[in-house]
């Protein structure tokens, strides 16, 4: 069996996925193919993964492929392909995505999922992922493509709509959503045996039901604690708690993410909201700088002291592979096309995050039905931007980029149309060859 990891310079993530596979008997002896365009980073990954394999007594092989000219060889005969690329990296592209909008008065926190940062990130990533897909159609047409790269809904939705590759989008937030909520509100005693239903879109999927092990609805107690949490100046998850207060439900991704997915919290006319909700502006660039430095330190320590014992993570990838290989049931929250109106409020072209069952026959998305109308309305403000960005990537028409930015809740609530167009034009010019040509 062959597992190919695209973007293997993401060493920490590659280590987690490979380490998870080493914890499973049926996967310990697989071929793990690493692909990246950065030779130094892929060599760092190889060294760490080889050390992990030795520590776990793995018998498989680790192969390395560097550069576009070796991409097909990395993918050839793969059974599973995991994608974790970042086109353009922190420098120059993430810096561009933050600094140019800031000139126009548009502030962001993460900029990887929605907003002008998410739009530009999608437009430079989709062509690369489409190249992956075309290669897969040729050299591993039956492989399952597991996408971890953001913006999840835009990238996954494009590949699912416009290629023949069997694709699932995977995130980290569904697994920890209710756990984080109950711990934040001091309800740890309700964690064991809890039951939940989560559905919506990536980074804004709703915790629609949360019950204790006896079937009692936990939302009344949760809602009774929200005001105290929001009024505590030390707390940081306030935007999601405000969602409970104003929309009735908690959502999957963090408050720093959700602060920029709507009209409400990052507003130049209301600067006090930044402090009130503890919103960390420019958070993602800070994380990038810190992660780069932390990885250098961690890499040196691993070379000196060896790899640490790996405990299986909460990432879905190894569980999906194990489920398919061993034909054992497994449940995930996956990003899939809304075919058959899994969520009846949304168009079929939307990429939705819903419960999915996995077994030896593959991945089976579950029907959810209607969402609470206010939750569906919030999701649709994001879906509109996602669909227009996909349209721009497909048609290569600049007007669709303008429209996506104009309809983005945060961008449209802060800037006028002419300013939005000027900002988009400057971003396109600044990204240069990282973007295809738009007309």
User: Which residues are the active-site residues?
Assistant: 172
CB 84 within 8 A of CB 78: no
Residue pointed to by tokens 């000027």: 422
What tokens appear for 40 in the block?
């130094």
CB 392 within 8 A of CB 401: yes
CB 135 within 8 A of CB 424: no
What tokens appear for 266 in the block?
């990052």
Question: How far apart (Å, rounded) are the C-alpha atoms in residues 234 and 17?
Answer: 34
Question: How far apart (Å, rounded) are the C-alpha atoms in residues 132 and 72?
Answer: 8
CB 322 within 8 A of CB 27: yes
Contacts of 365 (CB under 8 A, 6+ apart): 334, 336, 339, 342, 354, 355, 356
CB 307 within 8 A of CB 47: no
CA distances from 361 to 178, 196, 323, 340 (A): 29, 25, 9, 19
Question: How far apart (Å, rounded) are the C-alpha atoms in residues 63 and 150?
Answer: 26
DSSP string, 14-58: HHHHHHHHHTSGGGTT-EEEEEES-HHHHHHHHHHHHHHHHHTT-
Q: How are beta strands 351-359 and 362-365 bridged, if at all?
A: antiparallel
Question: How far apart (Å, rounded) are the C-alpha atoms in residues 316 and 172?
Answer: 8
Question: How far apart (Å, rounded) are the C-alpha atoms in residues 211 and 190?
Answer: 9
Question: How far apart (Å, rounded) are the C-alpha atoms in residues 2 and 138?
Answer: 16
DSSP conformational letter for 217: B
Q: H-helix or E-strand containing 332? A: strand 330-337
Phi, psi of 243 (to 5 degrees): -60, -45
């Amino acid at each position: 069996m062959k597992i190919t990891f695209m973007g293997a310079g993401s060493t920490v993530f590659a280590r987690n996925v490979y380490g998870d596979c080493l914890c499973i008997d049926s996967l310990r002896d697989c071929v793990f193919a690493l692909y990246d365009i950065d030779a130094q980073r892929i060599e760092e990954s190889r060294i760490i993964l080889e050390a992990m394999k030795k520590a776990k007594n793995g018998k498989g092989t680790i192969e390395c492929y560097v550069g576009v000219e070796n991409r097909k060889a990395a993918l050839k005969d793969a059974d599973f392909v995991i994608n974790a690329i970042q086109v353009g990296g922190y420098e120059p592209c993430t810096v561009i995505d933050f600094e140019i909008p800031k000139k126009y008065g548009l502030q962001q926190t993460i900029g990887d999922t929605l907003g002008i940062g998410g739009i530009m990130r999608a437009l430079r990533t989709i062509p690369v992922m489409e190249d992956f897909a075309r290669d897969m159609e040729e050299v591993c047409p039956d492989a399952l493509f597991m996408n971890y790269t953001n913006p999840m809904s835009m990238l996954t939705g494009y590949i699912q709509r416009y290629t023949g590759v069997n694709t699932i989008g995977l995130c980290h937030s569904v697994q920890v959503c209710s756990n984080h909520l109950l711990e934040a509100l001091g309800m740890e005693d309700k964690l064991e045996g809890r039951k939940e239903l989560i559905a919506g879109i990536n980074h804004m999927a709703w915790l629609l039901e949360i019950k204790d092990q006896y079937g009692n609805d936990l939302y009344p107690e949760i809602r009774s604690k929200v005001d105290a949490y929001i009024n505590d100046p030390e707390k940081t998850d306030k935007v999601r708690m405000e969602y409970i207060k104003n929309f009735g439900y908690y959502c999957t991704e963090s408050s720093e993410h959700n602060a920029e997915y709507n009209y409400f919290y990052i507003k130049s006319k209301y600067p006090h909201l930044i402090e009130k909700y503890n919103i960390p502006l420019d958070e993602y660039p800070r994380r990038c700088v810190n992660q780069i430095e932390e990885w250098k330190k961690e890499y040196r320590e691993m070379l000196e002291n060896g790899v640490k014992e790996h405990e299986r993570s909460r990432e879905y990838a190894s569980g999906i592979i194990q489920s398919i290989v061993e034909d054992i049931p497994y449940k995930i929250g996956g990003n899939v096309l809304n075919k058959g109106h899994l969520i009846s409020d949304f168009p079929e072209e939307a990429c939705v995050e819903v419960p999915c069952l996995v077994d030896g026959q593959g991945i089976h998305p579950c029907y959810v039905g209607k969402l609470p109308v206010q939750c569906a309305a919030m999701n649709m403000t994001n879906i509109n931007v996602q669909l227009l960005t996909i349209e721009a990537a497909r048609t290569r028409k600049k007007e669709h980029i303008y429209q996506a930015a104009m309809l983005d809740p945060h961008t449209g609530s802060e800037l006028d149309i002419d300013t939005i167009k000027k900002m988009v034009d400057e971003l396109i010019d600044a990204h240069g060859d990282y973007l295809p040509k738009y007309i």
